[in-house]
Structure 1
Amino acid sequence: DLKDYEKAGLKILVCGTCLTHFDLLERKQVGETTNMLDIVTAMDLADKVISI
């Protein structure tokens, strides 16, 4: 469950444009809403990346 991962300290980044496009912005329950530039930058700087 993503909520458990977040509680354990995993940083979850969610694209706000994608949430808006799929009309999911109000339903998001986990993660930080951000933009693709921040997501790609975080992925580039991370030691390990997990995509779900």
Structure 2
Amino acid sequence: MGETEDYKTLSESLPVFVDMGARIPTWWLHERTGIPERLTTTKCCSRNRSRRPLA
């Protein structure tokens, strides 16, 4: 599986797990995707339900 497919899989599956109550540390997401982490404190992924979906 390539990098693009990995991002697609994560973007589709993570919201499902977070909605089920999984507390996924952001450090794991940053490590998995290679996205630089701004803070050194451990925070968990969450969804902002007040935002409208992108068109």
TM-score bracket, normalised by the shorter chain, equals under 0.3
Whichever structure has more strand as a proportion of its residues is 1
Larger Rg: 2
TM-score using structure 2 length: 0.27
